[in-house]
Amino acid sequence: MQYTLHLTQGCNFACKYCGLAQAELNMSRETAFAAVDLALAEGDTSVGIGFYGGEPLLCKSLIYDIVKYGQEQIGSSERKIFYKLTTNGSLLDDEFLHFAAKNGLFISLSLDGNRQAHNLNRLDRSGKGTYSKAISALPMLLALNPFTPVMMTAAPNTAAYLADSVQHIFSLGVRNLICSLDYSAQWSESELEALRLQYKKLAEYYLRCVLEEKKLFFSPFESKINSHIKSREYCSERCKLGYDQISVGTDGALYPCIQFVGDSSYQIGHVSSGIEQTRRKEIFKQSRTEHKECQGCALKKRCLHTCACINKYSTVNISQPSPVLCAHERMLIPIADGIAARLYKKRSGLFIQQHYNKLYPLISLAEDFVTQQGGKL
């Protein structure tokens, strides 16, 4: 179980697509500690604590205190707390990176592509592009964790840069790229077509890389290829709303996921009183209501229409996907299937290991360890 603590509603950036109602509201130490207590009270051996914002690194000293408190609570028991955060990169410094490495805090970096694409939407508060600030700590992040995820948002005005942007990010040494769409934006037909052409271009690049045994993870292709291979069940992206993770607002209110924070109609408790199980169940049930247009769709087991967070963000209704999401899924799935079919036909060793060998993550880690040791064990 993961608890995501929204440490602040403040940010030092002003990204054009940001849905955050920025305010100088920070979580108190008492609230944060109560959230850690609640997470530990679940009794799991492994507990996840995420730091979110706004920009969570505006609250560095609170993060230090929370991690210290969490370690004190678990003492020398076998329990483990896994920490993670997503940052815009501008406030990362040596001290924090060493703290993260020492305490197993997993950092993801938001970066929207090459300089031109990134600077179209990810602006600082004076309206300047933030590309240089965002990548300044990337070399150190990658030195500490070669699998540091980069979180990229494709928006209508950056769609035409997608292929160059993805290749640029991989050329910086990144191997794990999580790319999602700005689903809340109005996408025109021509912008969606530009996006489709970019995916087609990227498919050729991805294919070449895999055939050359270069390990890279590009989430739109990986998730759809996976959903094809595991098509008997709903795709692995389907979460159990309110049961896989809980989001904690700055005031300690509990919500079933990130996009619900601040919307009292979806509050499912408070750190001081715990989770309201009845409300949690009701919201979960509501999220499982399938939209009528999706009921007979052949793609429904591979489609993100079940993500209540995306639906809420784009249509307000947690079980209604937006037309943009629908168009995007219909565009992406055949392209990903085409990649998979060609790699399978060519008997790509990396592709078969990655998608058909359950032990692949372990094998991959061992291979990377050997490479890092200069090829020797």
Min. distance of Cβ 112 from ligand SF4 in angstroms? 10
Beta bridge pairs of residue 51: 5, 85
- CA-nearest of 205, 209, 201, 150 to 180 is 150
Minimum CB separation of residue 295 from ligand SF4 in Å reads: 8
CA 200 to CA 194: how far, in whole Å? 10
What single letter denotes the amino acid at residue 103? N
User: How many angstroms separate the CA atoms of 81 and 87, rounded?
Assistant: 20
For residue 279, give the 3-state DSSP assignment.
helix
Nearer to ligand SF4, 118 or 280 (CB): 118
Q: For ligand SF4, give the closer residue by CB, 56 or 269.
A: 56
Least distance to ligand SF4 from the beta carbon of 332, Å?
Answer: 10
State which residue, 20 or 92, has the beta carbon closest to ligand SF4.
20
Give Cα 342 distance to the centre of its chain.
Answer: 28
DSSP letter, residue 362: H
Nearer to ligand SF4, 1 or 14 (CB): 14
Nearer to ligand SF4, 23 or 362 (CB): 23
Of 11, 73, 62, give the one whose Cα is nearest residue 39.
73
Shortest Å, Cβ 168 to ligand SF4: 20
Minimum distance between the CB of residue 301 and ligand SF4, rounded to whole angstroms?
8
Q: Cβ of residue 247: shortest distance to ligand SF4, in angstroms?
A: 14
- The neighbouring-strand residues paired with 218 are 177
Q: What is the CA radius of gyration of the chain?
A: 21
Which residues make up the interface to ligand SF4 (CB under 6 A)? 11, 13-15, 18, 20, 53-55, 88, 293-294, 297, 299-300, 303, 305, 321, 325-326, 329-330
Residue with Cβ nearer ligand SF4 (85 or 207) = 85
